[in-house]
């Protein structure tokens, strides 16, 4: 049950989130889970390409999400950059044991990714997109997550201890049992989020 105190701590949590009709969550999870897992060498290549993307002026663009036949997809809008180099795990998964801890990957595309129990401790993922991703029990402790869009993601029992979530969006997220102790929540949004048993 959301109380007045939780509404003060979690801005906009008393408001309803945007309607989500038309999104086929079962199909989203099915497609991501059926993808070929990203290997360690592939992950390193993706990260290296993304750093080149950032050096080439890739930061500062804007995200748009589209709904196509029940599946959500992301479009990054920034002219003059090679979008093929941008870090993308959209509808993908990592080989078990791989994570993103201590990685510098702002402006990444992780829309609808299957990343349960992801370790992203101390990572820099600011302004990235994690909409509709499966992030069950993910660990974002001490991560820089300013402006990240987590809308509709499964973040049940996720850890955000001491993370910077300034300007992040948790609209319609499942955050039951999540841990926000020490997290910075300036300008963060929680409309329609499930916040039962969160730790603050």
- The tokens for 53 are 């993307």
pLDDT band (50, 70, 90) for residue 1: very low
pLDDT digit string, tens, across residues 149-188? 999 999 999 999 999 999 999 999 999 999 999 999 999 9
CB-based contact 88:112 (threshold 8 Å): no
Instruction: State the CATH number of the domain containing residue 96.
Output: 2.160.20.80
Contacts of 127 (CB under 8 A, 6+ apart): 59, 106, 107, 146, 147, 148
**What is the tally of structural domains in the chain?**
1
pTM: 0.93
Residue 159, domain extent: 1-200
* Cα separation, 42 vs 6, whole angstroms: 42
């Amino acid at each position: 049950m959301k109380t007045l105190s939780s509404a003060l701590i979690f801005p906009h949590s008393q408001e309803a989130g945007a309607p989500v009709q038309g999104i086929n969550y079962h199909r989203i999870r099915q497609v991501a889970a059926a993808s070929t897992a990203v290997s360690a060498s592939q992950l390193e290549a993706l990260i290296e390409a993304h750093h080149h993307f950032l050096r080439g002026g890739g930061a500062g663009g804007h995200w748009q999400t589209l709904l196509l036949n029940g599946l959500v997809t992301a479009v990054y809008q920034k002219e003059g950059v090679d979008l093929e180099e941008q870090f993308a795990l959209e509808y993908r998964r990592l080989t078990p044991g791989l994570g993103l801890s201590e990685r510098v990957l702002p402006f990444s595309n992780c829309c609808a990714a299957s990343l349960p129990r992801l370790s992203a401790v101390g990572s820099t993922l600011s302004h990235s997109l994690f909409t509709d991703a499966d992030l069950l029990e993910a660990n974002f402790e001490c991560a820089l997550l300013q402006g990240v869009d987590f809308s509709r993601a499964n973040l049940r029992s996720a850890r955000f201890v001491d993370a910077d979530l300034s300007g992040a969006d948790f609209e319609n997220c499942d955050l039951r049992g999540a841990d926000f102790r020490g997290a910075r929540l300036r300008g963060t949004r929680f409309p329609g989020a499930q916040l039962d048993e969160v730790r603050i």
